[in-house]
Structure 1
Amino acid sequence: MNVPPTSHYYIGSRSEIVAFLPERYTRVLEIGCGEGGFRSNLRSDCEYWGIEPVISVANIAALKINRVLTGTYESVKNELPDAYFDLIICNDVIEHMVSHDEFLKEIRNKMTFDGYIIGSIPNIRYLPVLYSLILKKDWKYEPYGVLDRTHLRFFTKRSLRRAFLEHQYDIDVLTGINPITTTRYRYIWPLFKILLGLLFGWDIMFTQFAFRIKQNQ
């Protein structure tokens, strides 16, 4: 990804994902750890690994977490121990994978039998994206967001669920997060939102989906 080291990509604690953490974890891997901001949400006594492709950003993360591997997941995966991590974090990462199918297949080898994967992924059915596509007849890549120009994969809630199930994961949670907000039309928006939700589905109101999955036992 050609993203400046000062980008919002690398900072922030992603506190909205905390609710999806499992009760117990001891060895954690965060793929796309950025500057290590998410580390502050977890217990201090866990062993924490990170993967980060930008060297300058990885150096900052190394001050906060136990071990940082510099590179993409595909380039460093052989440095990860097998059957080791009981929690893997993928906050807005899978959409950047060359092959999400290969990732979901291979990452199982790095997990304990009772391990979890949590994270988030952009929603391609997000209302502003649909508005641009259907009414404006446009699909414009942006520096960030759902149509981030570095995204290689796009998901709806249904297609994401199917991907998890096809790779033999049990889905604990799969739900929308970061709903659309607007200060325009504040008096009619609540009613309009209900109408849109009933017509097109409530998933269009969310920027992303958060998930918690585990290996199918």
Structure 2
Amino acid sequence: MLGSRLPSFSAEDRRKLGYRLDFIGVNHYTTLYAKDCMFSVCPVGQETQNAMVAVTGERNGHPIGLRASAMPTFYVVPDGIEKMVTYIMKRYNNVPMFITENGGDGYTNVEDWLDDQWRIQYLDGYLTKLAKVISFIINMTTIKPGRDGADVRGYFVWSLLDNFEWLYGYTLRFGLYYVDYETQERKPKSSVKCYRGFLQSGLYES
């Protein structure tokens, strides 16, 4: 499908690419259904570039998960991060992984930005599923085997601060800390306390 758009590789390039990966970094936010449309027409607006698949958040009229009101194609599907990490673990011989971005913004109302209960539920669901598949769990004093064996070395909530998002500009609030863009004042959201408690308590070690 890509033909001449694929780059060419020299012998030296291939030699460099033969080295083992140090780690795989994964950005994961949501999960969608995918339908092969290699030999059929993709629904308008659902085609995914060269992958020749159509993606949608609904099947037979039922959403794949809780829809975020702030983003029409964003659904809360904690099982997705468990399945994704498990797939990478098996496909790439358990190369160390870092979840480099995970999070979301479920609000369109200003009054909900500071008391972000939606984000608390989101993080609880995704961290619970992630903890299920990691191979070791670190808290303040111990390192011990996990349940299913994925070598996940780190996790980053997206993001620390409200910021400029590529698609949405300043209209969404992904940060754990609220930023007043006029004054640059920063305020912790409700999710900060819960996330700090998770980090300090070893909540998912059992």
TM-score category of the 2 structures, normalised to the smaller one: 0.3 to 0.5
TM-score by length of 2: 0.33
Tell me which protein shows more helix as a share of its residues.
Answer: 1
TM-score by length of 1: 0.32
Bigger radius of gyration: 2
